Structure 1
């Protein structure tokens, strides 16, 4: 049991009707989960308004209701707490409910369009390798010192976040690395958390189905750095034109990393090949298994973070050289006989797709074909579809347009949107195969000795969402099986 008054600590209250010095049980924002003695928080969502379910929550036994708009009818035995923002209240109440677990470990948040998952996952690997008990909250998985917890969102709801952080605290975790999405910032999911560091990777075209403009998307990202305390550090990619903007109003210590700009953490690419990268990081040489310029940025970011957290430079570089890549991020498979290489990557934004294709083109000899399999998600930002198709067609020898996660949209409509972006000169390079498995199979059948296949968009995902239903689907397993059959 918790005291409602304690749960409301730091919450900005507009009006309170009823006592707050009362014992309550659990906190929920889903009325279906309410039991006797619980607190119900009525959230205004993009599709559903929780205020519609206040009476249902009270009928199920809610002892207190947190809301923005008071209902006409109020039960005498229920405390009603009116707030300006129920989302902010949920975040603060969630932190208070679990006794503010983020204060008891070192929490580092990573935001940006591309690279969040790779950066947080590599930091998790690095700190584990260096002997620390470590936690991870990412798109791919939530890890509590090696224990895997399933996840569906880049940034979970505040109750879930604080529940995981409490489990980490109880497990003795020293450091937690967390992806911070623009949705999570905008919906106050990280409000009330105590970050010792924040990192910015880059900002490119994405999520404009949710944010009204690129400027709004950028400004939401910036809010994360605005909330960092003076004791924290903020590391930004100085090669990204938005990097400096992120730090304008932060109280945190300002730092930068870059390949092309003079700043605190710098790197030079000495060698870039399918076997890995050779870098010079702050005048110390490093070999890493990871590939491409975008991974050079990721390596530099985690190096800077580790140094700011007080670790030894030589030990950090040695550990980085032993790190593996992240599942579904430039993960490649080869056949022994035909020497065909297939690369699976999560690239689902124009900039990410361009980076991956340019990386492959920089490494390959041009005596082989580059075949790209790519689609775009349904019920999401439609404006990037023609852009991604144009990039794929211009930077590949052959492109197969296919389904990604069509969700509730007609896949053929999505593909038509993509095809509209192809330049006339590139039409002859393109092929459309709606079924994704057949598209991957077609690419493998088309490939000849030494050819390279890029399968972009889904990466680590193990499902495909069609008509609102998630079906088992794994690009990596499918292409690995098809290549294995070529070796027989």
Structure 2
């Protein structure tokens, strides 16, 4: 247990009502989870305002409350702390409660629109192969060395982050690789963390339902690099015009990587096929099982990061050649009939374009490329017609289907996607709302040597409809249908 005074270290406080010497058993921002001697943090969320539940938190055992507005009714014996931003305060308090765990390992954050999961996950793999104890905080899963936990958000809340970092400390973890989302930065989930480095992959159209403008989305990402300390490194993709912007105000050591222009770390694609990539990295050749131009960037980012963290170049290249692709990222299976099915998380226009261009650069054009794609509900609507345009422009045939409609009507989402299809591509398209039926139809349409791309959900093993999650795994489903064709 920590005293309230210790937990409030570095928190910007406007007012305190009561004493700060109370012993705190746990911090919570959900009033239902507050227990005896707990600290409740009232957060104004997108769905509910924690300030409405202060009384419930006190009834459940809270001895202290952190809030942005003091309640009208103050309970005697309870300490109330008024702050400007509860989320920012929570981040510092979480770090203090768990003894600043990010300072006891080398924490590297990965941000950008696409590639975050791949870069973080492959760095975890590489450092494990190098013999280190490693942590991972990603969209797919959370790893405390060899112990796996289920992930619920790209960047968890600050309490969860510090809890897992504390577990990593206890397990002797030396390096941790973490996805840093724009939501996470904007909501101060990474505030108070001690980063040894930051990686910028790229920036394209996404999350404009939340950030409203592309400039705001970009500037939130930049804020992460602005906050890096002097001893850290800031590694950015120089082929993305936003890479240099990320470096403008950072105090960290500035490093760049690129395929197309001068950079501190350079690579060249020598071979690109379904079996993998042959790359020339800093005058050395390396073969990797990962596929496509976008993965060439990911590999280069991994190489540069490992070198910046002190690994030997020859050793890094050896481990890169042994890396396995991440679940739901260009994950493919080939049937006995030589039909190739690829499952990829591509859920933004740029990611879909990258995957389709990669497939088209490898295929002979004598076969069909059948794309199955949808868009998530309750998310950025402006990207839907762009997804429809890209899918039909770069595929032979396209089946539009449901993704995670959430609270929206799938038919409305599909109309938004269809709006982006140009007249000359109408004949390529088919709309099947039921995702399972859409995948089945793609398998039935496919001839030997054809390629099926199932985009949008990748590693997800569920479909979210009207507040419920149903079991749904694109990769398992396409494997089943391809087997049925063999009978």
TM class by shorter chain equals over 0.9
State the secondary structure of the residue aligned to 1:464. Answer: strand
Q: For residue 182 of structure 1, what is the aligned residue in structure 2?
A: 182
What is the TM-score with the length of structure 1 in the denominator?
0.99
1:77 corresponds to which residue?
77
Please list every run of 5 or more consecutive structure 1 residues that lacks an aligned counterpart in the other structure: none
Alpha-carbon distance between aligned partners in 2 of 1:286 and 1:371, rounded to the nearest angstrom: 31
User: Counterparts of 1:461 and 1:88 in 2: how far apart (Å)?
Assistant: 30
Alpha-carbon separation, structure 2, partners of 1:121 and 1:57: 38
Question: How many residue pairs end up in the alignment?
Answer: 487
The answer to whether structure 1 residue 349 and structure 2 residue 344 are counterparts is no
1:464 and 2:463 matched: yes
Partner of 2:400: 401
Is residue 2:365 matched to residue 1:379? no
Secondary structure of 2:260's aligned partner: coil
Question: Residues of 1 paired with 2:278 and 2:13: CA distance?
Answer: 55
Cα shift at 1:252: 0.2
Task: Using the TM superposition, give the Cα deviation of residue 212 of structure 1 relative to its aligned residue in structure 2, in angstroms.
Answer: 1.5
Question: Paired residue for 2:191?
Answer: 191
CA deviation after TM superposition for structure 1 residue 183, in Å = 0.3
What secondary structure is seen at the aligned counterpart in 2 of 1:210?
helix
Give deviations 1:167-188, integer Å, cap 9, x for gaps. Answer: 0010000100000000000000
Report the Cα distance in structure 1 between the residues aligned to 2:483 and 2:122, rounded to whole angstroms. 29
2:452 alignment counterpart:
453
Cα separation, 2, equivalents of 1:18 and 1:178: 38
In the alignment, the residues of structure 2 paired with residue 231 and residue 379 of structure 1 have an alpha-carbon distance, to the nearest angstrom, of 40
SS at match of 1:383: helix
- Runs (5+) with no aligned partner, structure 2: none
1:440 alignment partner in structure 2: 439
Question: How far did 1:25 drift?
Answer: 1.3
Residues 390-424 of structure 1: CA deviation (Å, up to 9, x unaligned): 00000000000000000000000000111111000
Pairs within 5 Å for 1:242-253: 242-253=242-253
Matched ranges for 1:220-299 at <5 A: 220-299=220-299
The match for 2:8 is 8
| Corresponding residue SS for 1:131 | coil
TM-score (norm 2): 0.99
In 2: Cα distance, 1:345 partner to 1:60 partner: 45
CA distance in 2 between partners of 1:47 and 1:17 (Å)? 28
CA distance in 2 between counterparts of 1:150 and 1:343 reads 24
Corresponding position of 1:59: 59
The Cα shift of 1:2 comes to 1.3
After TM superposition, give the deviation of residue 487 of structure 1 in Å.
2.5
Residue aligned with 1:89, SS? helix
How far apart in 1 are the matches of 2:23 and 2:126?
43
The 4+ residue runs of structure 1 with deviation greater than 3 A are: none
- What SS does structure 2 have at the residue aligned with 1:14? strand
* SS in structure 2 at match of 1:63: strand
Deviations 1:89-140 (A, max 9, x none): 1000000000010000110000000000000000000000111101100000
Corresponding residue for 1:414?
Answer: 413
* In 2, Cα distance between equivalents of 1:475 and 1:35: 41
2:473 counterpart residue number: 474
User: Is 1:358 aligned to residue 357 of structure 2?
Assistant: yes
Query: Are positions 1:390 and 2:403 aligned together?
Result: no
Deviations 1:33-54 (A, max 9, x none): 1122110000011121100001
SS at match of 2:211: coil
Aligned to 1:165: 165
Partner of 1:32: 32
Write the mapping of 1:148-163 to structure 2, written as runs, cut at 5 A. 148-163=148-163
Counterpart-to-counterpart distance in 1, 2:187 and 2:63: 25
Match of 2:324 in 1: 324
Paired with 1:463 and 1:302, the residues of 2 have a C-alpha distance of 30
**Aligned match of 2:18:** 18
- 1:96 counterpart = 2:131: no
